[in-house]
């Protein structure tokens, strides 16, 4: 009996090492993820959006590779924190990239629609702020068309009043006069600290224009796939114009 206990005692370090480098690693990784998420949520509650953005990044870095659903959720939260920190352009790009990745990774239509709604709101807020900054119609119109496209996709497949109202709000923003727009309060959750958004949008479009035609013959990667989806979305949005601004 005593010799059996000694053998068990001697085996404990080996069992602990096996657990630590096996299942224990997964538990440790998830603990680090949960701690980072808790820190991010605490920072967001205090409206310390930059800290929240960084903590969500730490959560993503610690997350197991096979946790796709959790990764999508954290990326959504991180993009929103980026937007609320004043980086509306960057946050919108992150949401667009997330939507593209989720499509290729087998997300459900309901999961995709949640991100589409975020994308629609991001473009809606961009159009609103750009108009207040004095951007030309040619500059802010693509933003509102992208917003309408996302909201229309959801509204056509939903009976929720909120989804219909989002589409109606985008149409109204396209039609309302600037003087009337200036008399309205900013939408809920619209970041009010996005300085020089119109100029940054101009620079982004100019940069994309310069990149056209470069890299021919290269193997298509994830970024190329994202560009294709964006071009397809822009084409669909442009077609909405033919239906009339009041459609």
Q: What is the pLDDT of residue 246?
A: 39
Query: Does the residue 215 lie in any domain?
Result: no
When divided into structural domains, the chain yields a total of: 2
Q: What is the pLDDT of residue 56?
A: 97
Q: What is the pLDDT of residue 28?
A: 58
Query: Does the residue 247 lie in any domain?
Result: no
Together in a domain, 181 and 110 = yes
What's the pTM?
Answer: 0.75
Q: What is the pLDDT of residue 60?
A: 95
Together in a domain, 103 and 162 = yes
Together in a domain, 139 and 117 = yes
Together in a domain, 72 and 166 = no
Together in a domain, 93 and 149 = yes
Mean pLDDT split into 10-residue runs, the chain, 247 residues: 53 46 53 92 96 96 90 97 96 98 96 98 98 96 97 95 97 97 94 91 87 50 53 50 39
Q: What is the pLDDT of residue 31?
A: 83
Range of the domain at 121: 89-195
Contacts of 125 (CB under 8 A, 6+ apart): 83, 88, 187, 189, 190, 191
The candidate with the shortest Cα–Cα distance to 36, out of 11, 69, 70, 62, is 62
Query: Does the residue 207 lie in any domain?
Result: no
Together in a domain, 170 and 187 = yes
Together in a domain, 96 and 165 = yes
Query: Does the residue 29 lie in any domain?
Result: yes
């Amino acid at each position: 009996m005593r010799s059996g206990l000694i053998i068990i005692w001697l085996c404990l370090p080996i069992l602990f090492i096996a657990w630590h480098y096996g299942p224990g690693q997964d538990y440790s990784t998830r603990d680090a993820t949960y701690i980072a998420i808790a820190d991010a949520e605490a920072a967001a509650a205090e409206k310390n959006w930059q800290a929240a953005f960084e903590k969500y990044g730490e959560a993503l870095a610690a997350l197991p590779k096979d946790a796709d659903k959790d990764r999508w959720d954290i990326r959504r939260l991180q993009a929103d924190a980026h937007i609320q920190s004043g980086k509306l352009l960057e946050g919108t790009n992150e949401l667009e990239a997330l939507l593209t990745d989720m499509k290729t990774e087998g997300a459900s239509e309901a999961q995709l629609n949640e991100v589409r709604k975020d994308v629609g709101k991001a473009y809606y807020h961009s159009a609103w702020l750009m108009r207040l900054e004095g951007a030309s119609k040619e500059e802010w119109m693509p933003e509102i068309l992208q917003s309408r496209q996302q909201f229309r996709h959801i509204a056509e497949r939903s009976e929720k009043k909120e989804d219909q109202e989002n589409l109606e709000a985008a149409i109204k923003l396209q039609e309302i006069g600037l003087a009337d727009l200036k008399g309205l309060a900013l939408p809920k959750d619209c970041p009010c600290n996005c300085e020089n958004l119109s100029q940054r949008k101009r620079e982004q479009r100019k940069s994309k224009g310069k990149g056209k035609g470069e890299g021919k013959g290269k193997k298509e990667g994830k970024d190329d796939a994202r560009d294709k989806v964006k071009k397809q979305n822009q084409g669909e949005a442009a077609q909405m114009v033919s239906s009339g601004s009041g459609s």
